[in-house]
Amino acid sequence: MNYSILKNLWKQSLNNRSFLLGIVLSLIMILTGLISIFWTPFPVEIFDISHKLEGPSAKHWLGTDHFGRDMTSMLMAGAWNSMLVSLFAISLGAGIGIPLGVFAAGKSGWVEELVMRFNDFAFAFPALLTAVMISAIYGPGIINSVIAIGIFNIPVFARISRGSALVIYKLEFILAARISGKNEFQIAFEHILPNILSVLIIQSTIQFALGILAEAGLSYLGLGTQPPQPSWGKMLSEAQTMMFIAPQMAILPGIAIVLTVLGLNLLGDGLRDILDPRLRDKN
Amino acid sequence: MKIINKMHTKILLICCSILIISGAAFASKKHLTMGMVLEPPHLDPTAGAAAAIDEIVYANVFEGLTRINQNAEVLPALAESWSISRNGLKYTFKLQKGVKFHDGSIFDSNDVVFSLNRARSEKSTNAQKSLFSSIKEVMAQGTNTVIVTLKNPTGNFLFNMGWGDAVIVDSSSANSNKSNPIGTGPFTFKRWVKGDRIELGENKSYWGQKPALKTATFKIIPDPAAAVAALMAGDADAFANFPAPEMASQFQSDSRFTVKVGSTEGETILSTNNKQKPFNDLRVRQAIAHALNSKEIIDGAMFGFGTPIGSHFAPHHAAYINLTGTYPHNINKAKKLLTEAGLPDGFSATLKLPPPSYARRGGEIVASQLRKVGIKLEIIPVEWAQWLDQVFKNKDFDLTIVSHTEPMDIGIYTRPKYYFQYQNPSFNSIIEELNVTSSTKKRYALMGAAQAILSKDAVNGFLFQLAKLGIWNKNVIGLWENSPVQANDLTGVSWKK
């Protein structure tokens, strides 16, 4: 890539409102999560029951929950846990799904058929149900929820990478690469992957958002992150019976989830507009 | 104008019909829907320890020789009257006449002999065999008299006979009571929709005074939030044990509901596997006792509903002694004891938590309190069936939280195979002496000594006495405020007109 293309991309990014809003929201979430590793206003594992269910104050900016834990600290630590689960799950899904998809596109014939039908099979199960099933068999916990969410990401990545790779495989420069003696592996790595990268990045942002939702869903059901580790989904389920006495307990994690998912989706949309060459030409 | 008039008449008509229909429904309200958190594993009270069984069938479907009312008084039931020999060893029960089981078979003295012998036999699966341990012989005298001879005078024998575990069953239906309970009570078992509800119908040929209610439904609602919604929407008329104490104030200020805070026999304890390392070390258990802060647990998990306890004994009982000060909350002492036990940096263990909110929420607080002295607990939420299997039956646990809701159950600490695996010969001898003592004063002294030993040995973390938070529709009257035995006795329940 030369300098002018980068400059062009930068200009487009600044002009794309959904990208800007998306990246700001996502960065806020990522930063909050990162900060929570080193510092939270209060420790989240120590309860202070005498100060339970307090409203916002100078000491507790967003109030406290039913165990007297600081809501700000809980939300921060929850952001990190959500991110971590989603990130590992996406890596798992992409790490297996992308090679499978590219391999299927390159091989064609019965290999492709087998891989893709297997994908359809995995796809046919509702994602959350798969996750519930895995947690039910192997017990609830943060690692099992990573595996569960990761598994339903495999077919997503396999499909999208196969579809995009098929287009690239038909182009002349692949033929040229073959003639020049490159093997399948080199072609996939040096020519296919760089050319489908933008699609994969966009898909990853969207899957990241879905992963955060799935993590919240699993924790809400008690199958994901286990106490005392805070998680947005668990905070929501705990808030259920407190709705009438401490509505902030439900509203705050709800807002956190909405903003994060919205931010990541806007980011994905924006990236698509910027990275898609066809749309770029129209602008 | 005409059109409007026509519409008016129509609306009026609809309103009137709704009024008439609902009025009729109110006047004839003979049904009660009771919400329950736990579903019973089966419905035979003579073959299971689960409180949920008795909470459905006690006094409603099954009856014993005696019955216990909400003030813990012993009243006659299937035994119309009784006399006790002077030495306190021979009980002569005169039975009610004209009593029939739900399947039509006649109740007589043979059924009593059968039931009591079945409960105390070697093969018996009764969860409370100790209730019958003092019986030497049960004999029928004619069809309406039963004579029970005891090995030694037993002070609360009549109370024991009023437990759900001592109900009278028919020999022909005894083995199928788990799925199709056949008793003599005013309600018959109608239907069990697993995971949803258990329905009771009317026993048209009931021998005694017929209750105001004709039918009843026990609806299983495990989720506290759903319990709140069910009460608010009227899907459940009552919750004898409401699972969301945080909502109590909300219901108190709502004129549609009655909120009653009563006492239960539920000692809520941090059960400790006394044979498991490092809990077999008294100093470790003492350290845990020092690290726990009951007040915080009651406030945090139960929103203030509950009484601190220092041993395994109900505070409303006359023989109760206050032992909450044996190991007061003191983090430094706890740390010192752990150091003495060779664990200066603490240790890791698991805490298995059954579904009730006292356990799940209380468990999180306990974990947070023990963390302060270096004990790191991994919280493992388990379903009720898993808990019974893993913890209660197979003793595969370090720590767990559960409420022991049987009345006067301090004797469980003598059972060598009981799940917390405690053994202390001097405690056993006190209970043995208690079982053969009939003087109230002496009994109370022995009960006090027994409480003191358990407290000193820090057998389990003694957290609090569970309060009975009952919430029901304000038009429902006659539900129990206290739970001296595990029961939802519907015989005295009715709807206000």
The CATH number of whichever domain residue B147 belongs to comes to 3.90.76.10
d(CA B201, CA B191): 9
> Diameter of chain A by CA atoms?
75
Whether the model clears a pTM of 0.80, i.e. scores above it, the answer is: yes
Instruction: Assess B89–A contact: CB distance below 8 Å, yes or no.
Output: no
SS (H, E, C) A149-198: HHHHHHHHHHHHHHHHHHHHHCCHHHHHHHHCCCCHHHHHHHHHHHHHHH
Tell me, what's the pLDDT at B307? 95
**Nearest CA to CA, how far is B196 from chain A (Å)?**
19
- What domain range is B98 assigned to? 72-170
d(CA A70, CA A78): 12
Confidence of residue B24 (pLDDT cuts 50, 70, 90): very low
pLDDT at B212: 94
Percent of chain A's residues with pLDDT above 70: 96
Q: Does A137 touch chain B if contact means CB atoms closer than 8 Å?
A: no
Work out the mean pLDDT of chain B and round it to a whole number.
Answer: 91
Please indicate whether, in this complex, the C-beta atoms of B247 and A68 are within 8 angstroms of each other: no
Cβ pair B368:A241 closer than 8 A: no
- At B205-217, the pLDDT tens digits run 999 999 999 999 9
* pLDDT, mean of residues B322-331: 95
Contact B125, B113 (CB under 8 A): no
Same structural domain, B125 and B270: no
Is residue B49 in a domain?
A: no
The answer on pLDDT for A281 being more than 60 is no
What band does A254 get if pLDDT is binned at 50, 70 and 90? very high
| pLDDT (0 to 100) of residue B222 | 87
d(CA B460, CA B297): 15
CB-facing half-sphere around the CA of B453: CA atoms within 13 A: 19
Residue B25 predicted with pLDDT over 80: no
Q: Tell me what percent of the residues of chain B surpass a pLDDT of 90.
A: 79
Can you tell me the distance from the alpha carbon of B257 to that of B250, in angstroms, rounded to the nearest whole number? 10
Chain A CB contacts of B250 under 8 Å are 244-245
Radius of gyration of chain A (CA): 22
Instruction: Tell whether A140 is within 8 A of chain B (Cβ).
Output: yes
State how far Cα B297 lies from the chain centre.
21
The answer to whether residue B284 sits within a structural domain is yes
Q: Are A237 and A3 in contact (CB under 8 A)?
A: no
According to the model, what pLDDT value does residue B257 have? 96
CATH tag, A19-31+64-277: 1.10.3720.10
Nearest residue in A to B360, CA atom: A227
pLDDT score for A1: 53
Q: Report how far apart, in Å, the C-alpha atoms of B172 and of each of A265, B95, B144, B181, B189 are.
A: 67, 20, 19, 12, 16
Would you give the distance in Å from CA B69 to the centre of its chain? Answer: 14
pLDDT in tens, A38-71: 999 999 888 888 888 888 999 999 999 999 999 9
First to last CA, chain B: 41
Selected residue with higher pLDDT from B3 and B127: B127
Write the pLDDT tens digit of every residue in B254-277: 999 999 999 999 999 999 999 999
Domain boundary among B120, B149, B170: B170
Nearest chain B Cα distance for residue A128, angstroms: 20
Report CB contact under 8 Å: B379, A47: no
Residues of A whose CB is below 8 A from B225:
240-241
Q: Which two tokens stand for residue A146?
A: 């990573």
The phi, psi pair for B275, rounded to 5°, reads -95, -10
User: Is B95:B144 a contact under the CB 8 Å cutoff?
Assistant: yes
A68 touches chain B (CB under 8 A): yes
Average pLDDT (A160-181) is 92
pLDDT at B19 over 60: no
Which range has highest mean pLDDT (A3-12, A240-249, B281-290)? B281-290
What are the tens digits of pLDDT across the range A217-235?
A: 999 988 888 888 899 999 9
Distance from CA of A229 to the nearest CA of B (A): 10
Contact of B227 with B369, CB cutoff 8 Å: no
Question: Which band of pLDDT confidence, cut at 50, 70 and 90, is reported for residue A191?
Answer: very high
Considering the domain boundaries, does residue B3 fall inside one?
A: no
pLDDT at B1: 45
- Which residue in B314, B332, B331 sits closest to B323, CA to CA? B314
Which CATH number characterizes residue B357's domain?
3.10.105.10
pLDDT in tens, A65-123: 999 999 999 999 999 999 999 999 999 999 999 999 999 998 878 888 888 898 888 88
* pLDDT exceeds 60 at position A37: yes
Calculate mean pLDDT across residues B362-386: 92
User: Tell me, what's the pLDDT at B6?
Assistant: 57
HEC states along chain B? CHHHHHHHHHHHHHHHHHHHHHHHHHHCCCEEEEEECCCCCCCCHHHCCCHHHHHHHECCCECCCEEECCCCCEEECCEEEEEECCCCCEEEEEECCCCECCCCCECCHHHHHHHHHHHHCCCCCCCCHHHHCCEEEEEEECCCEEEEEECCCCCCHHHHCCCHHHCCCCCCCHHHCCCCCCCCCCEEEEEEECCCEEEEEECCCCCCCCCCCCEEEEEECCCHHHHHHHHHHCCCCEECCCCCHHHHHHHHCCCCEEEEEEEEEEEEEEEECCCCCCCCCHHHHHHHHHHCCHHHHHHHHHCCCCEECCCCCCCCCCCCCCCCCCCCCCHHHHHHHHHHCCCCCCCEEEEEECCCHHHHHHHHHHHHHHHCCCCEEEEEECCHHHHHHHHHHCCCCCEEEEEECCCCCHHHHHCCCCCCCCCCHHHHHHHHHHHCCCCHHHHHHHHHHHHHHHHHHCCCEEEEEEEEEEEEECCEECCCCCECCCCCCCCCCEECC
Q: Per-residue confidence at B494, pLDDT binned at 50, 70, 90? A: very high
The length of chain A in residues reads: 283
Confidence of residue B111 (pLDDT cuts 50, 70, 90): very high
What pLDDT sits at residue B82? 95
Provide the 3-class DSSP secondary structure of residue A64.
Answer: strand
Q: Specify the pLDDT at position A5.
A: 77
Peptide bond before A228: cis, by omega within 30 degrees of 0?
Answer: yes
Number of structural domains in chain B: 2
B225 vs B63: which has the higher pLDDT? B63
Both ends of chain A: CA-CA distance in Å? 20
B299 touches chain A (CB under 8 A): yes
Q: What three-state secondary structure class fits A140?
A: coil
With contacts defined as CB-CB under 8 Å, which chain A residues touch B365? 47, 49, 67
**Residue ending a domain, choose from B170, B185, B203:** B170
For A148, residues 6+ apart whose C-beta sits below 8 A from its C-beta are A89, A130, A131, A132, A133, A134, A135, A214, A218
B460's tokens? 């389990």
Q: How many residues belong to chain B?
A: 497
Question: Residue ranges of the domains in chain A?
Answer: 19-31+64-277
Residue B373 lies in a domain: yes
Q: Decide if the complex's ipTM is over 0.90.
A: no
Size of interface A-B (CB pairs under 8 A): 54
| Sheet hosting strand B79-84, strand order edge to edge | B79-84, B90-95, B145-150, B135-141
Is B165 part of a structural domain of the chain? Answer: yes
Query: What radius of gyration do chain B's Cα atoms show?
Result: 25
Q: What's the one-letter identity of residue B439?
A: S
Q: Which residue in the set B228, B364, B371 is minimally distant from A241, CB to CB?
A: B228
Query: What does the angle CA B255 – CA B485 – CA B356 come to, to the nearest 5 degrees?
Result: 65
Nearest one of B126, B125, B123, B121 to B135, comparing CA atoms: B121
Q: Which of B232, B239, B242, B246 to mutate to test the interface with A (most CBs of A within 10 A)?
A: B246
Burial class (CB in 10 A: 0-12, 13-18, 19+), B386: middle
Output the pLDDT for position A111.
85
